[in-house]
A and B are shown apart, each in its own frame.
Chain A
Amino acid sequence: MDQIDILSGLEPASETYRARRERPEFVSGAELCRKTVLTPQNGFEISHAMRAALAARMARFIGREDLARTYDLMLDEAGINELLTTIAAAGDLPEDLDAFTVALVRQADLVTKTPRDSSRADIERLQAAGLSSPQIIALSELIAFVNFEARVIVGLSILELVA
């Protein structure tokens, strides 16, 4: 069983579990994508710990506390501190926080909650805060992955409950 099975409450004997295995490329593909956004080989100086904290925060905003806790665990392993704990807990940021980190968190919040309102100004704000193009892409892929994963888990969880 993988993280998506566990968080979706799939029992290995269930029809939903078996049906998911008919698409092995979805199962392995999602896990590979998780690695490339949470623990990439080249992280463009956005640490694995920061990525886990942002993922936990987004999962909380989406309403999947269980998913958020798996990212809390990843954060524990990557090295936690007070700021990262605050970010992960979906808390308000300290007022004296550096512009770079504020920009990361703000973008994760906005694109998770109101993607439809995204505009050029949001990207310019990231650039003004010092994010390079590779960092903007890496951040966007991380945000989008967590939103994807949460939706797969929600869908599978409910499918498991239906005859």
Chain B
Amino acid sequence: MSAGFKVKALEWAPYIEPVEVANATGEQLAAMQVTPSNTKVSPYVRTLAHDPESYVARTKLFNAIMYANGGLDRADRELGALTASAVNRCVYCASVHARRYIELSDRSDVVEEIYMHGLGGSFEPKIQAIVDFCRTLSETPSRVTKEQVEALRGHGFSKSEIIDLIHSAAIFGWANRLMHVLGHSVPIEAK
């Protein structure tokens, strides 16, 4: 199955000048977790390190939502992230999380459907329930319906798992509003 559709890895380039490690304040260095043995920091981290206070708090929350043990299957969290990123047209986030979703689920067919036909494509019922809920929550929160949440319950998701799904889509409502607003995706340069 994994011989199927592939999503290209991309890099991200900011529209504003990132913090230079050499000129960073102590607070910025701590936020970027720069140590003598770790001085290579991505443009993304250096861009957000302009405001180290919010960067540190959000990173901790982001990691809990996407990587905490137990609860919703990690692949389904990635599908929530991918759905939000597709709604918000964050090409960079979509590429990262489409790839992670395929790694975790071996479902390149689902990603192919999203890339070829968009979120209005057709999916098997359980996947459809995740996509529909996360799509509406990302696009127009006021239009999320009880039926959408009941559909998730009907496919066996517990309330705890649905809380994880809500957070994974919502945190990409956040992440997309940084990555797609502050910069753009670029092809990876040949090294």
Contacts and interface: CB of A to CB of B under 8 A. Distances in A.
Interface stretch (A71-79, A82-90, A91-99, A146-154): A146-154
Given A144-B178, A148-B173, A158 B145 contact: yes
Given A111-B181, A133-B16, A158-B145, A151 B137 contact: yes
A159 to B, nearest CB: 6
22 contacts: A16-B159, A19-B159, A23-B71, A32-B60, A33-B58, A35-B57, A62-B141, A63-B141, A64-B142, A115-B88, A115-B176, A115-B180, A133-B16, A137-B16, A137-B50, A137-B54, A138-B51, A140-B178, A144-B173, A144-B174, A151-B138, A154-B137
B133 to A, nearest CB: 8
B53 interface: yes
Interface string A32-72: 11011100111010000000000000000011100000000
Interface string B163-191: 11011011101111110111010000000
What's the dominant secondary structure at chain A's contact region? Answer: helix
B54 A40 contact: yes
B142 A25 contact: no
A156 B137 CA distance: 11
Interface residues of B, number: 55
B177 to A, nearest CB: 4
Interface bin, chain A: 35 or more
Given A33-B54, A138-B54, A151 B141 contact: yes
Nearest to A15: B159
Contacts of A118: 180-181
Nearest to B167: A26
A151 B160 CA distance: 16
B163 A19 contact: yes
Contacts of A137: 16, 47-48, 50-51, 54, 182
What's the dominant secondary structure at chain B's contact region? Answer: helix
A116 B177 contact: no
B114 to A, nearest CB: 15
Contact of B177 (A32, A123, A138, A144): A144
B103 interface: no
Interface in B9-58: 15-17, 47-48, 50-51, 53-58
Interface of B: 15-17, 47-48, 50-51, 53-58, 60-61, 64-65, 68, 71, 87-90, 137-138, 141-142, 144-146, 148-150, 153, 158-160, 162-164, 166-167, 169-171, 173-178, 180-182, 184
A4 to B, nearest CB: 11
B96 to A, nearest CB: 17
B58 A154 contact: no
A20 interface: yes
B166 A141 contact: no
Contact of B167 (A33, A120, A140, A152): A152
Given A23-B68, A133-B50, 10 more contacts: A26-B61, A115-B89, A123-B182, A133-B16, A137-B54, A141-B54, A151-B173, A154-B137, A154-B144, A155-B169
B173 A154 contact: no
Nearest to B171: A148
A33 B187 CA distance: 32
